[in-house]
Amino acid sequence: MKSILTFPPAIYLAATLASLGLMIIIDYLLGPVAEHLNAWVIVNRLFGRETDIGDSLAIRHLGLAGATVVMLLANALGGGLLIQLLQLVIRTIHA
C-alpha cells in the first residue's frame, strides 16, 4: 500500500495545479463575493492587470507576495487531499 510520501512530486504538482485552476475558475464566477482569498484577482495582479473587483482581503493584509504564498499553500493542501480522495475511490472500487 502506498503512503502519502511514496507518490512522486510531479503528481502533487499536477494536483496542485488542478486545484489552483478550479479555484481560479470558481473565483472568477463568484466575482466580488470571494473577498477573502480571490485567486482570480491574485493571478491578474501577478501578471500586472487590474480587475474591476478590487483587491481581496488577503492582498490588503499580506500584500501580493503573501497572498500568493497563502494561495499556493492552500492549493497544495487541496491537491494533496484530491490525491488521497482519488486513492480512496480507487481502493473502494477494487475492494
The cell numbers describing 58, all together, are 488577503
> Domain tally for the chain?
1
In this predicted structure, what is the pLDDT of residue 3? Answer: 60
Is 4 a domain residue? Answer: no
Is the CB of residue 58 less than 8 Å from the CB of residue 68?
Answer: no
Low-confidence stretches of the chain (pLDDT beneath 70): 1-7
Is 3 a domain residue? Answer: no
CA-derived radius of gyration, the chain = 16
**Domain coverage including residue 32:** 9-94
In this predicted structure, what is the pLDDT of residue 49? Answer: 92
Is 2 a domain residue? Answer: no
Is 53 a domain residue? Answer: yes
The candidate with the shortest Cα–Cα distance to 16, out of 78, 86, 65, is 78
What pLDDT digit, counting tens, does each position of 5-19 carry? 666 888 888 999 999
